[in-house]
């Protein structure tokens, strides 16, 4: 099992190095196998195609570390870790988001962050006090805003540091949380 994971990581690293300088659509399986030192059969043993490989990278480098043990208490640290991961391989992620898979990545992150915001709403207002429809709307609103901000940051060259972006998002969420608690206590 460890050998399979190691092989996948080697293939992924080779793919990322190519994609840092070449558009996804122009990358061939031969390019990937050549740089990673494996043959086509090995590539196809581990991945169906380059979309599957791209999905594996997103899932293992960004999504899994972000959602693993995610809670309202640690979401801002997890967010910063995710932004640092993306920034470290900025050219790869910028090119990856230009592909058709970029929409799937966005949708997945939005779904996961929406779940976290639903929990936050229940924590602030008390479970069952906000209707399911209202909670879903509010959670999706914040999710779309945050994920949209992150994707814009990636697409525009990541000029601000991950710390600055994470701080902006954390401040906004905390300010909204304080406002919601204040509003709830005054009603």
| Domains of the chain and any CATH numbers | 69-186 (1.10.357.10)
Instruction: Average the pLDDT over each of 1-10, 139-148, 160-169 and give the range with the smallest value.
Output: 1-10
Section 128-157 average pLDDT: 88
pTM of this structure: 0.79
Buried b (16+ CB within 10 A) or exposed e, 23-50: ebeebeeebbbebbebeeeebeebbeeb
Taking residues 33-62, what's their average pLDDT? Answer: 93
* Tokens at 111, concatenated: 């779904």
Inform me whether the pLDDT recorded for 37 exceeds 90.
yes
């Amino acid at each position: 099992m460890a050998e399979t994971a190691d092989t996948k990581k080697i293939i992924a690293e080779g793919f990322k190095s190519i994609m840092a300088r070449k558009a996804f659509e122009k990358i061939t399986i031969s390019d990937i196998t050549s740089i990673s030192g494996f043959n086509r059969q090995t590539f196809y043993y581990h991945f169906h195609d380059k979309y599957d490989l791209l999905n594996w990278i997103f899932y293992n480098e960004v999504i899994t570390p972000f959602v693993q043990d995610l809670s309202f208490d640690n979401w801002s640290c997890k967010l910063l870790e995710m932004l640092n991961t993306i920034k470290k391989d900025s050219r790869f992620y910028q090119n990856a988001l230009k592909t058709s898979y970029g929409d799937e990545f966005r949708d997945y992150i939005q779904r996961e962050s929406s779940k976290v915001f639903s929990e936050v709403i229940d924590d602030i207002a008390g479970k069952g006090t906000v209707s399911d429809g209202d909670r879903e709307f509010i959670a999706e609103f914040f999710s779309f805003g945050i994920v949209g901000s992150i994707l814009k940051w990636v697409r525009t060259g990541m000029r601000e540091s991950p710390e600055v972006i994470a701080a902006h998002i954390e401040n906004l969420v905390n300010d909204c949380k304080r406002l919601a608690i204040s509003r709830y206590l005054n009603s």
